[in-house]
Amino acid sequence: MCTAAENNDKVSIIIPALNEESGIKNTISSIPRSKIHEQGYCLEILVIDGNSTDLTRDVALQLGAKVIVEKLKGYGRALKTGIYAARGNIIVTIDADGSYPTELIPEYLQELDEKGLDFISVNRFSKMEKGAMSVMHRIGNKVLSLVMRLLYSVDLKDSQSGMWVMKKKTLSIELI
């Protein structure tokens, strides 16, 4: 367990969830806690539960996550609640369904630090299993990503990604 006196670098992993009992265990278990600690970071895992009716909250608590129940609906609201509650100066967001390469979090943290970045958007297609996304969603994502690249001159492969690594100081979040 890290304390603020040991290290000022804290990572908060935010996981929005709604009835993700089947996926939350694998998602939380896949977080490379020891590697993150070896890098000198304290770690908190926040599951923002959208008032699930299954055992999502219980499973998350058993695995050491802090659970916040968000009664207002929506993925964006869950992210906002999580970012507002996060104590870390670095925020990582992932989905509860295991669709993101959580094993790469230490590499992304290193890249954020070494390159002096404020924000990384992760391409989930490298890990995604065949058939996990419908053809229409995949085409839509490719079109939206192309539009983002053309409009903003950014090299973005997955504009609809829900895995981000960012410095909290770059955000301005107020809960209303």
Domains of the chain: 10-129+160-170 (3.90.550.10)
What's the whole-model pTM score?
0.84
pLDDT of residue 5: 43
Burial of 71 per CB tally in 10 Å (0-12, 13-18, 19+): exposed
Q: Are 44 and 13 in contact (CB under 8 A)?
A: yes
Mean pLDDT (whole number) for 143-155: 73
pLDDT tens-place string over residues 29-59: 999 999 999 999 999 999 999 999 999 999 9
